[in-house]
Homo-oligomer: A and B are copies of this chain.
Amino acid sequence: MAKTKKTPRPKAQTPKGFRDYFGAEVAQRTQMLRTIAGVYHRYGFEALESSGVETVEALGKFLPDVDRPNEGVFAWQEDDAEGKGDWLALRYDLTAPLARVYAQHRNDLPTPYRRFAMGPVWRNEKPGPGRFRQFYQCDADTVGSGSVAADAEICAMLSDTLEAVGIERGDYVVRINNRKVLNGVLEVMGLGDEAQKADVLRTIDKFDKVGEAGVRELLGKGRLDASGAYIDGVGLSEVQAEPVIAFLTSKAGDTAGTLANLRAAIGDSATGAAGVNELQQMADLLDAGGYGPDRIIIDPSVVRGLGYYTGPVFEAELTFEIKDDKGRPRSFGSVAGGGRYDDLVKRFTGQEVPATGVSIGVDRLLAALHMKGRLTTDTTGPVVVTVMDRDRMADYQAIVSELRSAGIRAEVYLGNPKNFGNQLKYADQRNSPIAIIQGGDELANGTLQIKDLILGAKIAETATQDEWAERPQQFEIPRDDLVARITALLAEQAK
C-alpha cells in the first residue's frame, strides 16, 4: 500500500459545547419547525433563509441577552491575495441577518415585509450543562410597520404557535411590557447622567433574580450577594428609587388595574404616557381578537430584553411546574421573546425602519414538550428481512422492494449474516415491529416466517412456560400474501 507518514489518530469528539441529534430527536424538531412555519405562513409571513455566514461588519453587536455579556461570535478573517480579507462570522441570531437582508433587498421587498426564518445560530460562549453553542431559533418579524397592531399580532401569533405545537392553554402565558414606560420612569426620576441611567437599567435586569428587595438595595447603597461578595449600589435615595419599584411591581389583578398603576409610576412623562397608551392599545386589539388574559397579559415585571428593544417587549413563559436540579418545584420558564426594535436597519441605511418580531427557542420548547410527555413521534423501526442464505440476497431484496412499494418501512439485514442471533438483536436495537425469515424450507414451500416482535416482547415479559411454548408471536404465511399480511399486522400492532 501507499507509504504514508504515521500521524496520531484524531479524536472522535464533537467540539466543546456542540452535540449530535439522532433519529426521533431530529424528526421531532423537523415536525415542530413545520408546524410553526404553518402558523407563521397562515399569518401572512414569507420564508427567508439567509446563510449561516455573515460579514462581521454587517452583523454588528446586537445581542439581546444582557445577562450574558461575555458572549461572542465565531469569527475568522478571509484569506485573500494580500492576506487581509473581510472578517466573517457565524450568525448569532436571526434578527441581525434580517436587518442586513432588508437593507440589501429593500427595493424588491414589499413594505411592510413580513418574514419568518428558522435555523441554527451559533454563540461563542462558555458551554455549560444544557447550554449549547449551536441551537435553533425560529423567528417572525414585521419590518416597516410602526403600528402597535403589528406588535399585537406577533403576540397573538406566538400564542397560536404555542398551542399548535402542543402547549395547552393555561400552561403558558405571553407577557407584555414596554420600554417607553420604563423610559418615562427614568425621566421622572431626574437621573443625572447617562452612566447613572445605564446603572439603573442594569439593576432592573436583575429583578428576575433578586426580587423587589434586592433591587431596592442595588438602587441604593448596595447588596451582599449570595456568594458573599458586596455589590455596590447605584446610590439613589429611597424616594428617587421609588418610581422604578412602582414600575416593576405595578402588575395588578387585571389589565385596567395594571395600566392605572403604570400611569401613576410615570408621573407627567410624555414618553411614559405614550408607552402606557401602546400597552392599552395592544390589550384592546388582543381582546378584540379573542386573546384574553388567560393567554396574554400586561406584565411590567418582564425585564428581559428591555434594554435592547425600543417599544413593546414580549416573552412567552411556560407556567407548568418542573423539578429543578435539586428536586425543588419551579416553573419551566421562558421559551420565546421579542419586541420592537426600530433602530436596527438604520445602521445600514441611515433611515429609521420600524420593526417588531419574536424568536422562539425551539430546543427549549422541545425540552418542555418532552417533559410533559407530549412528543408523539413514531419511533417504530423498519420491518427487518433477515438473511438465512447469503446467496439469495436478491430474493430478500425483492421482499423489501415489495414492502417499500406499498409504503412500508423495510430493510434487509446488511451486516454479516452468519450469526442469526445478531440479526434478531439488530432488529431489537432498531425497534423493529416485525422480522421476516425465509430459509430453505420456506423457499421450497413458497412461504415466509413472520416474527411479531412487539407481541414477542410482551410475551417475554409475562408469559408462562406453556404460553411461551405456543409461540403465537411467530407464524408462517404464504409468500404471495406478503404485503397484505404485513400491512394487517402493522395495523393491529398500532391499535
Contacts and interface: CB of A to CB of B under 8 A. Distances in A.
B393 A147 contact: yes
A348 interface: yes
Contacts of A34: 30, 34
A14 interface: yes
A409 B42 contact: yes
Contacts of A51: 14-15, 18-20, 120, 134
User: What is the interface residue range for chain A against chain B?
Assistant: 35 or more
A460 interface: no
A290 interface: yes
A145 interface: yes
B11 A58 contact: yes
Contact of A75 (B25, B76, B397, B408): B76
A470 B269 CA distance: 55
Contacts of A194: 2-3
Contacts of A452: none
Contact of A12 (B10, B29, B104, B410): B104
A128 interface: no
The prevalent SS among residues of A at the interface is mixed
A442 interface: no
A48 B74 contact: no
A253 interface: no
Contacts of A112: 414-415, 426
A444 to B, nearest CB: 19
A358 B62 CA distance: 40
Contact of A114 (B110, B145, B347, B411): B411
Interface string A51-90: 1111101101000000000000011101100000010101
B14 A411 contact: no
Give the number of times this chain occurs in the complex, counting copies. Answer: 2
Interface string A34-58: 1001000111101111111111011
A1 to B, nearest CB: 9
Contacts of A350: 9
Given A2-B194, A50-B20, A285-B394, A415 B14 contact: no
Given A20-B48, A58-B11, A153 B42 contact: no
Contact of A110 (B14, B86, B88, B429): B429
A101 B18 CA distance: 12
Interface in A294-338: none
A428 to B, nearest CB: 9
B9 A382 contact: no
5 contacts: A20-B104, A22-B48, A23-B48, A42-B404, A288-B397
Given A14-B104, A112-B426, 13 more contacts: A9-B349, A12-B104, A12-B348, A13-B58, A14-B51, A15-B51, A20-B51, A20-B104, A111-B415, A114-B411, A284-B394, A289-B394, A289-B397
**Chain A to chain B: the 8 pairs with minimum beta-carbon distance, closest first:** A44-B411, A12-B103, A288-B394, A26-B47, A44-B382, A76-B76, A145-B414, A12-B104
